[in-house]
């Protein structure tokens, strides 16, 4: 028997680091292929998938603007451009598997993507197209985590699936502390109160207000994404 689908419409947040080799820079086609490999079974199950892509493999506004010669807003727009590059690589890789996709950009780039129009995005999802959301919110001073919470709310997605390098939220950095303890479940309030660095606090508060669950999980661990979509207790669930 096939897996029961827990969520029918999901918003997957993929960081820029998933588009390159560990600790690397730019686009590494094999890394994008690994990501798509995890997406395929979910898409083939008929789950409606919207994706927000980060851009940290090229530019993070905050880091670039540490140099006083580049303004934070400018650096953030550069970061948004970076997400567009990632979105296009994801689009082609998905389409190489005959998965229909649309890239929708929050900044007008008519030659390469559609503009973000909520009702049109919903229509794409209903038609089984993967909607790849590029250029974040189109506004500086936030990150793609906030964009994920915002677009998930707009699209009535049932969950935000936040893919990371580690298997959920820990009480300390598991990369540095081998005894770090993983949380199976957390409340939004605990994440906010303890400032657990899992997602932007703006994104967490937006999800809290909308009662939108977040699953933080290891994106590239085989079968994890599918498990998260099926509500199999993968990673850490953040909810009320």
Q: How many residues bind ligand UDP (CB under 6 A)?
A: 24
Residue 163 found at the interface with ligand UDP (CB under 6 A): no
Three-class secondary structure of residue 202 per DSSP? helix
In angstroms, the CA 158 to CA 11 distance is 8
Residue 147 found at the interface with ligand UDP (CB under 6 A): yes
In angstroms, the CA 6 to CA 72 distance is 40
- 207 torsion bin: left (phi>0), alpha (psi -120 to 50), beta (else): alpha
Which residue, 70 or 112, is less far from ligand UDP as judged by CB?
A: 70
Among 20, 51, 80, 166, contact with ligand UDP (rule: CB under 6 A): 80
Q: How many CB atoms neighbour CB 81 within 10 A?
A: 17
Which residue, 7 or 116, is less far from ligand UDP as judged by CB?
A: 116
3-state class percentages of the chain: helix first, strand second, coil last, to nearest 5: 40, 20, 45
Which residue, 63 or 194, is less far from ligand UDP as judged by CB?
A: 63
Among 7, 31, 42, 76, contact with ligand UDP (rule: CB under 6 A): 76
Binding positions for ligand UDP, 180-219, rule CB under 6 A: none
Of the ranges 24-32, 72-80, 89-97, 170-178, which one interacts with ligand UDP (CB under 6 A)?
A: 72-80
| Site mask for ligand UDP (CB under 6 A), range 107-136, x = bound | -----------------------------x
In angstroms, the CA 218 to CA 59 distance is 22
| Site mask for ligand UDP (CB under 6 A), range 14-33, x = bound | -xxx----------------
In angstroms, the CA 218 to CA 197 distance is 15
Which residue, 101 or 144, is less far from ligand UDP as judged by CB?
A: 144
Q: What is the DSSP string of 122-165?
A: HHHHHTTPEEEEESTTSSSSS-HHHHHHHHHHHTT-SEEEEEES
Among 61, 168, 213, 227, contact with ligand UDP (rule: CB under 6 A): 61
Binding site for ligand UDP (CB under 6 A): 15-17, 54-56, 60-62, 75-76, 79-80, 82-83, 136-137, 139-140, 142-145, 147
């Amino acid at each position: 028997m096939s897996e029961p689908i827990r969520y029918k419409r999901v918003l997957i947040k993929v960081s820029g680091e998933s588009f390159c080799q560990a600790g690397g820079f730019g686009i590494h086609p094999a890394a994008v292929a690994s990501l798509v490999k995890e997406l395929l079974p979910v898409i083939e199950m008929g789950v409606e998938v919207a994706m927000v892509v980060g851009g940290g493999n090229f530019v993070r506004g905050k880091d670039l603007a540490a140099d006083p010669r580049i303004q934070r807003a400018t650096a953030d727009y550069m970061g948004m451009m970076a997400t567009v590059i990632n979105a296009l690589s994801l689009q082609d890789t998905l389409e190489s598997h005959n998965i229909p996709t649309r890239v929708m950009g929050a900044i007008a780039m008519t030659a390469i993507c559609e503009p973000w129009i909520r009702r049109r995005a919903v229509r794409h999802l209903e038609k089984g197209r993967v909607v790849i959301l590029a250029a974040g919110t189109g506004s500086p001073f936030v990150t793609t985590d906030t964009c994920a919470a915002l677009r998930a709310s707009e699209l009535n997605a049932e969950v935000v699936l936040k893919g990371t390098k580690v298997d959920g939220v820990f009480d300390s950095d598991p990369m540095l502390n081998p005894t770090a303890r993983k949380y199976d479940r957390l409340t939004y309030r605990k994440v906010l109160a303890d400032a657990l660095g899992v997602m932007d606090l703006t994104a967490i508060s937006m999800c809290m207000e909308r009662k939108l669950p977040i699953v933080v999980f290891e994106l590239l661990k085989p079968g994890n994404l599918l498990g998260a979509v099926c509500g199999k207790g993968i990673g850490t669930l953040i909810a009320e």
